[in-house]
Structure 1
Amino acid sequence: MHPTDQEILALLEIPAEREAGFSLLVQKYQQRLYWLIRKMVFAHEDTDDLLQNTFIKVWNNIEKFRGDASLFTWLYRIATNEALNHLNKKRNELLNSFEDLETLLASQIENDPLFSGDEIQARLQKCILTLPDKQRLVFNMKYFDNMKYDEMSEILGTSTGALKASYFHAVKKIEAMIKNETF
C-alpha cells in the first residue's frame, strides 16, 4: 500500500529522509504520470525522457510546493507542461520540414511495438492527434482518466466552463472524423 501524500511530504522535509521520501513519491506516481505524458507524445522513448525531466523538476522544486493543490495536481501540472513544451519544441523543429508533428506522431503510433491497442484504438488515437494540444489534453484527461472538471480546472488553471467547451468541441471533431473517415 502506498503512503499518503502527507507522509511522503513529511519525509521530504527531513534532510536524512529526503531521498527515501522522493523514492516513495516516484513509486506512487510514476505510472500515472507516464501514461499522462504518453497520451500526449505517443513515443515511449520521449515519454521516458519527459518523465525523468518531470521528476528532476519535482526534486529541484519540492520545497516550493505550498500545498494549495494536492500533490498529484502539482505533479500533473509539471508533467503536462513538460509534454506541451516538448510538443512545441518538436513542432518548431519541423517548421522547415514537409512533415508536420501530427503526421510524425501518427507514424509513431503505427510503428510503436509497445502500442497494444487494436485498429479501432489506433484510429481513435490518430483522431485525437488532430486536436490542438490543449484540446487533446482536456479530452485525454476527461475520456481516459475520467477526471472531474474541477480537478482539471485546478491542474490547468482554466475555468470549468472553458474545459467543458473544449471537451465538447474535441468530441464533436472526433465524431466527425470517424464518421467521415478523415484521419
Structure 2
Amino acid sequence: MNQIPDENTIITYFRREDDLAYKAFTWIVDIHSKRLYTTIRRWVNNHEITNDILQEVFIKVWNHRTQFQGNSALFSWMYRIAYNETVHFLKKENKHKSFDIDEPTVSFSHQSEHYGKMNSEEITKLLFEAIETLPQKQRLVFEYKYFEDLKYEEISKLTGGSVGGLKANYFHAVGKIEDFLKQKLNH
C-alpha cells in the first residue's frame, strides 16, 4: 500500500515535468477533493454543478501547478481557484437565467426599493460582489470563517497570520460587506 508523503514532498513532485508530477496530482486530488467539493457545494447547492466546477478547479490546479509559489498552504491556493471558478460560473449562470415568478423571495428593509423583490440567487450574487471588493487578506479570512466555518487557529495554520490579526481582518471584512449590502439594497 502506497503511503501519501507530506505536503512539502507532494509540492516538490507536483512542480516537476515527469511522472512524479502526475503521481503528486493524484495525491492532491485524494487529499483535497472532498473538502473542495464541500466548499463549492455550499456555494452552488447542486451536486452536478459542484462536480463540474470541481473538475474545472483540478484542471486549473494541474495546468497552473508551476505557478504555485508556496507562500501559503496548497489548500489555500486551491481554495482560491475554487472560489474564482465558482464566482465565474455563477456570473455566467446569472446572465442566462430568467426570473421565476413563483420562486420565493427574501425581504429587506421596508424602505428599500428591493423590499420583497430579490430571490436567493440575487442575494448570493450580491454577497459575492461584496466579497470581491475586499482586500485579498480580508477576503481569504472571511471565506475561511464564513464558508468553511474554520476556527481562527486553523486559519492561522493555513495562512501563517496571527489569530489577533485574523480576527481584525474578519471584523473589518464583515463591516465592509455590511456597508456594501446596505448601500446596494437600501438606497
Q: Kindly tell me: are residues 93 and 130 of structure 1, through their superposed partners in 2, closer, same or farther at Cα, counting changes over 3 Å?
A: closer
Contact 1:141–1:152, Cα closer than 8 Å, also in 2:
no
1:67 CA drift (Å): 1.2
Q: What is the alpha-carbon distance in structure 2 between the residues aligned to residue 8 and residue 153 of structure 1?
A: 20
Contact 1:50–1:83, Cα closer than 8 Å, also in 2:
yes
Pick the aligned partner of 1:164 from 162, 167, 171.
Answer: 171
Contact 2:142–2:170, Cα closer than 8 Å, also in 1:
no
- Structure 2-normalised TM-score? 0.61
String of CA shifts for 1:111-162, please: whole Å, max 9, x gaps: xxxxxxxxxxxxxx99x85861255x876631443153665798xxxx9756
State yes or no: 1:145 paired with 2:152: no
Supply the AA of the counterpart residue of 1:4.
D
Q: What is the alpha-carbon distance in structure 1 between the residues aligned to residue 159 and residue 93 of structure 2?
A: 25
Supply the AA of the counterpart residue of 1:98.
F
Q: Secondary structure at the match of 1:145?
A: coil
> What value does the CA root-mean-square deviation take over the aligned residues?
3.8
Supply the AA of the counterpart residue of 1:54.
V
Pick the aligned partner of 1:5 from 4, 7, 13.
Answer: 7
Contact 1:11–1:18, Cα closer than 8 Å, also in 2:
yes
Contact 1:131–1:170, Cα closer than 8 Å, also in 2:
no
Q: Kindly tell me: are residues 72 and 140 of structure 1, through their superposed partners in 2, closer, same or farther at Cα, counting changes over 3 Å?
A: closer
Please list every run of 5 or more consecutive structure 1 residues that lacks an aligned counterpart in the other structure.
107-124, 172-183
State yes or no: 1:66 paired with 2:69: yes
Please list every run of 5 or more consecutive structure 2 residues that lacks an aligned counterpart in the other structure.
107-119, 132-138, 179-187
Q: Which has the higher helix share?
A: 1
1:6-155 to 2 correspondence within 5 Å?
6-12=8-14, 13=16, 15-94=18-97, 97-99=98-100, 129=124, 132-133=127-128, 134=130, 141-143=144-146, 144-148=148-152
- How many residue pairs match? The answer is 143
Contact 1:50–1:82, Cα closer than 8 Å, also in 2:
yes
Supply the AA of the counterpart residue of 2:100.
E
Larger Rg: 2
Q: Secondary structure at the match of 1:56?
A: helix
1:98 CA drift (Å): 2.0
